Every structure is written in C-alpha cells, then in structure tokens.
Amino acid sequence: MEFNLENPLTNLHHFNDSLFLVESDHMISEDYLKTLKTRDFDFCLRREALSSILEISCNFDPFLSYLAANYLDRFLSSQEMPQPKPWMLRLLAISCISLAAKMTKTEFNLTDFQGRGDGGLIFDTQTIQRMEYLILGALKWRMRSITPFSFLCFFISLFQLNEPPSIIQAVKARATEIIFRAQNDIKLLEFKPSIVSASALLSASHELFPLQFTNFKNAIFNCSYVNKENMLQCYNVILQQEMVMDIGYDDESEIDTLSSSDTPVNVLDRRFLSSSESDKTNGATITTTDTSTTAATTTWLSPPNPNPNPPPPPPQQPERDSKRRKIATGYCNNHRIQLSQTQQQC
Amino acid sequence: MEKYEKLEKVGEGTYGKVYKAKDRASGKLVALKKTRLEMDEEGIPPTALREVSLLQLLSQSLYVVRLLCVEHVDSSSSLKSTNDSSSKSNLYLVFEYLDTDLKKFIDSHRKGVNPRPLPPSLIQSFLYQLCKGVAHCHSHGVLHRDLKPQNLLLDKDKGLLKIADLGLGRAFTVPLKSYTHEIVTLWYRAPEVLLGSTHYSPAVDIWSVGCIFAEMVRRQALFPGDSEFQQLLHIFRLLGTPTEKEWPGVTSLRDWHVYPLWEPQNLARAVPSLGPDGVDLLSSMLKYNPADRISAKAAMDHPYFDSLDKSQY
C-alpha cells in the first residue's frame, strides 16, 4: 500500500496506461507557472519553501524530498499566499514532508523534522495536522503523485535494450539524476511528467549510448502518448541544463554567468545550493561554507526581504563553487547510497 | 460539513454510516460516508491517508463510484474540554449519489407487482461493466474483496453500473461483522477465503463476480450460506467437493476438514435461462483453483460478450 514514486499504483507487475490519462491532474496550473516566471516574489517564495524542505528532509530518502516538493508546488499552485510569514513556510514544508513520509511509509517522528536550524520553532501536532488537511484539500487528496519517475520503466521497456542490466541501470540512474534536478528548474514545470521522463531518458542515452540514440528517439516518438513537439522542446531545455552542468564541471569560470539563470548545480547538492541561494534572497551573504548546516539554516527566522525584487546575487567565486559541491556531496552521502539502491528495481 | 444537508441515513456500510445528502451550493445529491479516525500522535493516520488517496486515484474510472471530495471534521473542537485525549475526528468521503443498487434492482424483479426476469441484454451489459470496473481495480493493484450486489450501484436511466465500497479494505481488513454487528454476507466469498487461505489474489473478486452473474440470471443467490461451513457445503453440493487434483494444495488449507464427497452437478441447470456461452463464462469464473479462474480482463474478451456493442463502454 505504501506509495512508490516509480510505481504510483500498487500493481507491481504491469505499467498502467491510465497514468498518461491522469497525469495532468498532478501538474501545477498554467496561471501559477506564469506567476512564477513573471513575479520574483512568488519565485523566491517557492524557492525558500523548497530549500526548507530539502534542508529538513536531508537525512531521508531523496524520493521523499522530491515527493514533498511536488506537494509543495501543487499546493502553492492552488493557493494564494500573499504575505506569508517565515513560520508559515516552515510549517508548510514540515507538513509536506510529513505527508510524503506517511505516503511512502517512511518511519519518522514529527520531532525529526523540527528544531533543525529553525531557532527553536516547534509546531504542535494539531497545528501540523491542520496544515496537512489544508494541503490535502488543496490537492484534492491526490497524494499518489504521478511524476516523471512513474514513467521511467515504461519508456525503458520501449528501448528494448539488448544491453546487460547494469547498463540499463546506468541509463536509469542518469535519468533519475536529471529528473531530480528538473524539479528545481521552473522552465521544466510546464511539461507533463511523462514528457520530462522521456526527455530525461533520451538525454541520458545520448550521453551513455550515442550510437543508439536515434533508435531510442524513434522508439519514444512511436509511442502514441508522447507529443513529439513538446518532447523536443523539453529535451532541449534539459540539454541546455545539462550543458550548463558540463561547463560548470569542466570550466569553473563559466559557471558564474550561467548559474545566474538559477539552474541548480547537482541533484546531490541542490539542497545546499538552494539554501545558500535563499541566504541571498534574505540579503545575507554567507561566504563560509565549511559549516554547511549552520550556514544553510541561520537565516530562517530573519524576516523575508520586503523588496519583491531582490538585488542581483553577488558574483560567485569559482573556488566557492567547487568547495560547495565537495561539501554538499559529503554532507548528503546517504542520498547517494539510497539512489543506487533504488536503481535495482527495473 | 455545512456545505451539505443530510437528508437520510441510507445505509450502514461496513466501515460506518452512509447518508444521502444534498450539496447546498449545487443542489446535487451526494452520498456521505462517515469514517471515524483514531487520533494519531503524528497527525493524520498514515493508513487513512494512503487508502483515501488510492480511492481517489481509482475513482477516475466510469465504473467505480466517483469520490467527489473528502471533508475532515474535527469533533474535538466542539468539545468543551480541549484536553480530552479520547477526542475523535471524522472523515467524510463525499461520493456521487446513485439511487439504487443491484440488490434492490434484482429484488424488484423477483417480488413486487410485476415479477419478471432481467432482460438478457441488461445482464450482459451489467456484467461487462462489472468486469471492466474490476479489471480497473486489479490493474491498479487493488482487490475489492467484498463484491456483492449491494455494493454495485446503478444509474438506471443511463444503464450504468458502478462499484462502490472500495479501497478501504486493506487498512481495515475485511471484517466478519460490520461495526453495527450485522453479519457480513458470505454468499459471494471465494472458497479459498472460506477455507482460511491467507494469500489473497484477484481471483477472490472474480469468484464474487461469478456469483453475482448467476444471481442476475436466477434472481436469487447461487450460494446462500448462513455460516462459513454452510457456505462451503452450498458450493460443494453444486460444484462437487474439490480434490487435490483440480485444486492442488486445497487439503492443506487452514480450515480444510473432511467433507462429504459430492459429485459436480451440471452448472447449466442452476442458470436455466443462460445460453452456452454464458454458462462457459460462469464456469470459468467459478473454478476452484484460483490460478485457473479467468481474469477480469480476459473475461471481457469472452465470446459471451460478442453480441455486445463494446464501443459504448
């Protein structure tokens, strides 16, 4: 009965076509997407709540964080939050995580999520429960989110890879990374989960099996559920995103200009990245990244920036970026382990 | 809950009371199903959360009663003492309202002013919709486990059949007695369940579908047992006492005893008005060995439905 992102239904054996028919129910609204793209205030609000989720749930399975963030997006999409106080965002984040933990049957205690760098801000059970019901109502109890992960096995089966399972797993693992990262990029929020899934796999196969890329592409294009045009658009956005990544890794001087497009650096350090970016939105510039936990969390109770157009982020120093990546990878080591565990399933 | 005007209690579902109510804003009729939630130290009980969200996903099918919304009512807020630790809260599941069910419909054809058989084309249509709904549930990994005519709601005007009382089965387990201590009917229960098998498969629902199929034809229940033992005897008398040969492992099931050895009877005689294709489908739904029983999806392709215009479903 527990909810598994790769298999939102409880049927373990067969992919169910009906996912394609209902996936739109699990997307954010076009209006909200427009708001995110045009209003800095909403953009920052989302990012703050998102980084709050990633920060609180860092010690759990990354799929749990992903699911909580999915609830968050869909909640924000359905509700106006004109002037939320920082504690409201915190409560929202905790409640999304709590719901995600219950859905995935993750053992937890509400106290696990509290008192972590929030300056002693503790919510009682009833307050959290009330928020949980508010979220459930807004999401119409559609808590078995259909996400790009739900389609991975289906699209992989279309590829008919005559490769050893380890290679299939490598493609899937790479696509999984891309999908995790896609959640942060608002340019990708407009695409259907199945389209993001197919594009991520295509991008992964482009990297890992360039010779078979055309076959893969044709296999996906032949799938009647896939809109070619959307798929190409989405694929290009992902490709751009990945290019940014590559450049970031190969030549760190380039990342400064490109990272200002708010593209997160890596799924494994997205938690860290987003929290340090929220520092920026609060006007605080924290340059010591060695003590990752304190740096990421000290600003939680500071008032949100009253200026809806925050000043452009200060240019980042290349050393800082590389240092950050190193620390964050180490900090969330368990995420990497769990990722490799989840890859055994297809 | 002020949004709804409770009109009358229409039933005691297995898990709580069911009310007919009117949505004050739209004037539409709804069925309100009240489920009591135990207070949990961690907020919403996880099982309720998972069950209801699954129900939400399943109710997208035309052949499953649609869950319109879920309302939470915290009764502790109305209590004077706020530190009452035994305070309960209720979850109201708001479903679309249908005015009749298959049990009432069959009853109206058996007794009353104008007793008459159900038209064969209607039986065919209802059975097809039932198979489709069950196939939908099974493809989502969900077993109903308590299919019976009372749980199949009908829209008489549109000729639609919809499966109800679904999804809460797992968290609350199928009880022998409902919370009102009404005896839960055993008539549609598969032999493996009656014999104490702990492993349930989708085949348990197919057995029920077979019993319901026969009941539509006969206008009375096929196996009307009043205890688990009597229920088994009813089945064995018609279909013969199962043997290890046709159902390997049957004699090792927990509640297996030595039963009188009955020979199988001709099933067609139990459903005299049903043609050979119908009898064939029925017998493949009532196979003893759960592994041999037809699946809901395969049943939809059975020759019995060849004369049905499937495009309208």
Average confidence (pLDDT) over A147-164: 84
CA atoms within 13 A on the CB side of A151: 28
Using one digit for the tens of pLDDT, what is the confidence trace for B245-291? Answer: 999 999 999 999 999 999 999 999 999 999 999 999 999 999 999 99
Q: Report whether B191 contacts B210 (CB < 8 A).
A: no
CA angle A141, B150, B90 (to 5 degrees): 35
> Looking at CA atoms only, how far is residue A209 from chain B in angstroms?
33
pLDDT value of residue A260? 37
Q: What is the DSSP string of A249-277?
A: HH-TTTHHHHHTT---S-TTTHHHHHHHH
Q: Contact A3/B72, CB-based, under 8 Å?
A: no
> Per the structure block, which two tokens stand in for B155?
């829209």
Confidence band, pLDDT 50/70/90 cuts, at residue B13? low
pLDDT over threshold 50, residue B22: yes
pLDDT value of residue B58? 87
CA atoms within 13 A on the CB side of A162: 2
Pairwise CA distance, residues A92 & A85, whole Å: 11
Q: Contact B44/A8, CB-based, under 8 Å?
A: no
Using one digit for the tens of pLDDT, what is the confidence trace for A87-127? Answer: 899 999 999 999 999 999 998 888 777 766 555 678 888 89
C-alpha R_g of chain B: 21
> Looking at CA atoms only, how far is residue A139 from chain B in angstroms?
10
pLDDT over threshold 90, residue B294: yes
Average confidence (pLDDT) over A130-149: 94
pLDDT value of residue A326? 36
Residues of A with Cβ-Cβ distance to B170 under 8 angstroms? 1
Best of A4, A91, A102 to substitute, by most chain B Cβ atoms within 10 angstroms, is: A102
DSSP state of A316: P
ipTM of the complex, rounded to two decimals: 0.79
Q: How many CB pairs under 8 A join A and B?
A: 89
Pairwise CA distance, residues B69 & A268, whole Å: 37
Q: List Cβ neighbours of A129 (8 Å cut-off, separation of 6 or more).
A: B43, B44
DSSP state of A243: H
Confidence band, pLDDT 50/70/90 cuts, at residue B184? low
pLDDT over threshold 50, residue B191: yes
pLDDT over threshold 70, residue B68: yes
Using one digit for the tens of pLDDT, what is the confidence trace for A232-281? Answer: 999 999 998 877 776 654 443 333 333 333 444 333 444 333 333 333 33
Q: Contact A129/B57, CB-based, under 8 Å?
A: no
Question: Nearest Cβ partner of A144 from B41, B57, B67?
Answer: B57
Q: List Cβ neighbours of A156 (8 Å cut-off, separation of 6 or more).
A: A168, A171, A172, A201, A346
pLDDT value of residue B166? 76
B66 contacts chain A (CB < 8 A): no
Using one digit for the tens of pLDDT, what is the confidence trace for B29-52? Answer: 999 988 877 766 777 888 888 888
Lowest mean pLDDT among A51-65, B111-125, B165-179, B281-295: B165-179
Pairwise CA distance, residues A29 & A322, whole Å: 36
Q: Contact B51/A1, CB-based, under 8 Å?
A: yes
pLDDT value of residue A81? 76
B33 assigned ligand-binding residue: yes
Pairwise CA distance, residues B233 & A320, whole Å: 78
Order the strands of the B100-101 sheet from edge to edge: B100-101, B152-155, B160-163
pLDDT value of residue A138? 94
CA atoms within 13 A on the CB side of A154: 26
- Residues of chain A with pLDDT > 90, as a percent, come to 39
Mean pLDDT score across all residues of chain B? 87
Using one digit for the tens of pLDDT, what is the confidence trace for A279-332? Answer: 333 433 333 333 333 333 333 333 334 444 444 444 444 443 433 333 333 334
| Catalytic, out of B40, B84, B107, B146 | B146
> Per the structure block, which two tokens stand in for B109?
């054809």
Question: Nearest Cβ partner of A144 from B54, B70, B136?
Answer: B54
Distances (CA, A) of B171 to A190, A330, B16, B136, B187: 36, 40, 14, 20, 23
Using one digit for the tens of pLDDT, what is the confidence trace for B104-142? Answer: 999 999 998 889 999 999 999 999 999 999 999 888 888
Average confidence (pLDDT) over A132-148: 94
pLDDT value of residue A161? 63
Average confidence (pLDDT) over B229-236: 96
Confidence band, pLDDT 50/70/90 cuts, at residue B199? confident
Q: Report whether B6 contacts B32 (CB < 8 A).
A: yes
Residue A45: closest CA among A67, A68, A76, A69: A76
- Which residue's structure tokens are 């009043």? B226
B69 contacts chain A (CB < 8 A): yes
pLDDT over threshold 80, residue A8: no
pLDDT value of residue A80? 79
Using one digit for the tens of pLDDT, what is the confidence trace for A333-346? Answer: 344 333 334 444 45
pLDDT value of residue A13? 55
CA atoms within 13 A on the CB side of A70: 28
Q: List Cβ neighbours of A132 (8 Å cut-off, separation of 6 or more).
A: A95, A98, A99, B43, B44
B146 assigned to active site: yes
Mean pLDDT score across all residues of chain A? 74
Average confidence (pLDDT) over A137-142: 93
pLDDT value of residue A94? 94
pLDDT value of residue A345? 46
Average confidence (pLDDT) over B88-96: 86
Confidence band, pLDDT 50/70/90 cuts, at residue A203? very high
Report field, pTM of the whole predicted structure over 0.80: no
Pairwise CA distance, residues B117 & A287, whole Å: 83
Order the strands of the B16-23 sheet from edge to edge: B4-13, B16-23, B29-37, B89-96, B67-74
pLDDT over threshold 50, residue A220: yes
pLDDT over threshold 90, residue A149: yes
Residues of A with Cβ-Cβ distance to B56 under 8 angstroms? 140-144
pLDDT over threshold 70, residue B180: no
pLDDT value of residue B73? 85
pLDDT over threshold 80, residue B80: no
Pairwise CA distance, residues A294 & A49, whole Å: 18
Q: Contact A140/B171, CB-based, under 8 Å?
A: no
